[in-house]
Structures are given as C-alpha cells and as structure tokens.
Structure 1
C-alpha cells in the first residue's frame, strides 16, 4: 500500500521512505574500514533513509552487529530488516540453506541479539530451503510473528508460484529479488507484488549492460541533470509504487548521490526510452 510518492506502507502499516539502503557492502573489519562503515550508516539516517537492509549472510552476522553499533538505539521510524535461512556449516565453513524450523528459530534469536532488539519488524527468508517443506519454513516464521519476535514476513529470490504458495500459509509483506533497468528476469514477480500491494525490494538495483544501453542511460542522465546511477534508481522508483530500491555503497559520497535520486523526475519520453533497453541489454 502506497501512502504517497515518497513512502510505502510495508504490510499496510509500516511506513518507510521508498529509497532505502543496502548495508551488504559495509565492511566490519576493525580499524579505518569499520570507522568508514559506521560513518556511512549514520549518514544514511541523517539523509532521511528509513529502510536499511542487512542479513546474517553478510559477514555471518557481523553486518548486523555493525549496524547496531552505528545506530542503536534506533531512531523512531527506522526499519532495519534482516534475512535468515542461509548459514555457514561449522564443519566445512561453507554457506548453505538451512530453514528447518529449529534452525530458523535459532537464527532469529541470534539476529535479535545482534541487532539489540526484541522484535524484528520485517524478517525476510533469504532463500527457500529446497530440503525443507515450504509450509514448514513459512509456518515457523508465522509462529515467531505470533510470539512477537517478528513483525512482518518477507521472501527473497522467489518465483511467482513460490510467492503464491507462501501466501497460502500466511501474509507476505515483502519480496526481495534481483531486478534493475537492464535485468528484468523477475518482472512477473514484481507484477504479482504490485497486484497484491506487496513491497518489492530490488537488490542489485544498479547494473550496467552493453555499450548501447550505457549510452542511452548517459544521454537521459545528461538531459535530466543527473548521474547515470541516479537515472537507474529514478527509473525503478517510477516503475511501480511498490518498488523500494536498496542501493548499497561503502562511500558517503556515493550514498549521497544515491539518496538524491529520489528527487530525479523522468519525463514520459525518457521513461519510454529506458523501458526499451531491456530488450537490447
């Protein structure tokens, strides 16, 4: 549900600004890199970002701890969403899917501790575990929501059929799939989310294709008085009212460029030219 052009109500009641921030690129390594990451996270909030995306996968929880160090106690209106379902094997050190009910419960408890909260307002299943029945995975998250540990449930990298199956178990508030101007493989999923009023968080929202596509984006950017990155983000915001891009960066200057994309307005002609790029990228 959209309240206006700049905000979206996730799950129908949780208001966030539509242009968020993906924390994946923030380094948690000690020293200058960590200090720079803390500065970027804090600057994002200063710029008015109210949706920050992280995951257990990002550093095995180190990214979540970094955000807590930077931002806790969290300001009113800030949503830090995280993801579970991908874990590292203690035996092999390899990452893999694990969404068995007991494993999900343990992962959520760890996320609550790292983020220093009693409830995660939006928790997303990072990937569907092919070895565990979908109803068990979604059902466990629904139980955790009933218990008050989760506010809303989201999915990541799902098909239209998987989204529909999950919604038969419980309400789904968000979907996070790979999607950008030049990579529209999951367009049917976005359309399904729009029809149902489900937030669609495109990861990798900025990407470059062939020379022709790059030239067209650069041309539109010159006309709009914006950067190519801002044009790609502005296109996403114009694509559908349910789209909540989460561009990530480890540099303050790049963050400021991304956030300013919310003020870029593309003309119908420019949007039409950009729409046609998917076929040529």
Structure 2
C-alpha cells in the first residue's frame, strides 16, 4: 500500500456520469459526518469539516449526501457548504430525495411530487448551489416512480436545476419505469462483500451494459469492515486492512462502480482513499468469491 504522501483518489481511475460528468471512481459518502448512527452520538463539527477538506485534498471530486443526513442541529449539507464553498469547479455533489425525517428523527412517509421538488430546493439552499449535479430518487420497498414522482424531478432537470438523475434502492423494474420518464445515469443500491446476491450482481451488470454508474451504499456492509475470513487473508497478503480489500473488491467487480465510503475519521478517510491503489489479482478475487 502507498504511504500517506502518495494517497490519491485518482489511483482508482475515472468514470463519466451520463457521458459528460467526469468523477474519480473513489468518492466520499457524507452520511456519517453528523453522527455515528441515525440516533447519535453526535460527531465533532470541526472534525467533520476537516474530513471533507482532506478528502478534496486527496483528490475526491464526488461527494454523496442527502438533506436527511442530520442529527439534531448537525447536518451533512451544512458541513459540506461550510468546509468547501466556494466549491472547486470539478466537485460533483450528489444527493437523494424521497425519504425524510422530522426534527425528532422519526422517518416520514415517502415524499409526493410537490415535496420532492421542495426537497430539491432545500438541498440547493443548504449546499449553496444553483444546480445539483446528480439527484437520486430513493425508493422504499416495491413503490414505483409513478404518481408523478420521477416526473417531478425530470421537470426540475428540464428547468436546469438538476444536471443528472438517478435512482436508489431500486429494482430493475423500477429502473426501467424511471427510464421511461427521463434518462437515468446512476443507480445507488446496497452492494458489498457481504451483500452480493444474484439480484445485486445482476443490477451491477445491467448498469454496466447500459453505461449507468453503479454506486454501492454500505460498501462495507454498513457496520465497518466485515468479518470475512477471506478478506482477512487477502488483506494480510497485501499489507492492507480488511476494509481496504473490501473497497478494492467493489471497484474490481465492474468499471461501472463508483465507491463512496464514508467516515468521520481522518485516519479512516486516508485508509479508504489508499484503497484506490490496491489491485487484487485473480487469486485474490477467487478467494473473496469463495471459489
């Protein structure tokens, strides 16, 4: 693994979202910045802003966030604006709409078209942007884009407030329904060394065939480095950590994959970005797949 002076997100290569929006394949997820879990405890705002600035220093140009990433008065979108505005010209900020929480942290019913539009404007205000680079409609269970939900986002795209549209937590059927309304350039679904069932793999392959970016959420299973024996053995061979091997594995699955590991720790941030340079060989991949 490289030393800290050689760590850079560009080691993972680049991908074009929608054919015209270049990003490094190693990005950053902002969910963990306000708090460790949805219910706390809170993280230090000064440290959160330092993590964001360091991520950009290390070449990250793709940050994934959402207005519902907050804990009490601490919000990921506020940290992003405070740490990075005025933004670098090449910085891509992606956000999600659909779910929402009240100030008591109770999850609310999925947003209707009017609420989705209001949430996009809320993201624009809190981030201090005139246009959002990428907005995902996040689904719950088997709900579809119907009832004007994806159409509402497509209207904002036509108005110039959104550059690209994506879907999250989506099935192939939901993706196809959204595509009947407007182009979909990214899919954000659960996928990791511990969540790689046939349906998940099929979605990665579908995205690759269609030129759609696939952005795994919970790239390490959602609980830190997963305790998989194969990960440990491969990590030992490379002088890496299990978390780094897990991230390198996700990037090796398909050139369509964009990684967005999140953390509130500067040390873990550098560890994650260093995984961009980790190359797994055929024997590593076979061991990780259990074959």
Q: Counterparts in 2 of 1:5-16, with a 5 A limit?
A: 6-16=13-23
Instruction: Name the CA shift for 1:49/1:57 in 2 (closer, same or farther; >3 Å).
Output: same
Instruction: Name the CA shift for 1:213/1:250 in 2 (closer, same or farther; >3 Å).
Output: closer
Q: The residue matched to 2:228 in structure 1 has which SS?
A: helix
Q: The residue matched to 2:44 in structure 1 has which SS?
A: helix
Residue 55 of structure 2 corresponds to residue 44 of structure 1: yes
Residue 248 of structure 2 corresponds to residue 248 of structure 1: no
Measured against aligned partners, the alpha-carbon deviations of 1:16-41 in whole angstroms (never above 9, x if no partner) come to: 00011111111279x98000100001
Q: Number of residues paired by the alignment?
A: 270
Quote the residue 1:107 is aligned against: 119
What TM-score results when the alignment is normalised by the length of structure 1?
A: 0.89
Quote the residue 1:180 is aligned against: 192
Given that residues 237 and 245 in structure 1 are in contact (C-alpha distance below 8 angstroms), is that contact kept between their aligned partners in structure 2? yes
2:213 paired residue among 199, 202, 207: 199
Gaps of 5+ in 2: 1-10
Q: How far, CA to CA, are the matches of 1:188 and 1:21 in structure 2?
A: 24
Q: How far, CA to CA, are the matches of 1:208 and 1:148 in structure 2?
A: 34
Quote the residue 1:69 is aligned against: 82
Gaps of 5+ in 1: none
Q: How far, CA to CA, are the matches of 1:219 and 1:94 in structure 2?
A: 41
The RMSD of aligned alpha carbons is 2.5
Measured against aligned partners, the alpha-carbon deviations of 1:219-240 in whole angstroms (never above 9, x if no partner) come to: 1111122111111111111100
Q: How far 1:192 sits from its partner (Å)?
A: 1.3
Measured against aligned partners, the alpha-carbon deviations of 1:207-259 in whole angstroms (never above 9, x if no partner) come to: 399xx962221111111221111111111111000111111111000000000
Quote the residue 2:44 is aligned against: 33
What TM-score results when the alignment is normalised by the length of structure 2?
A: 0.86
Given that residues 98 and 137 in structure 2 are in contact (C-alpha distance below 8 angstroms), is that contact kept between their aligned partners in structure 1? yes
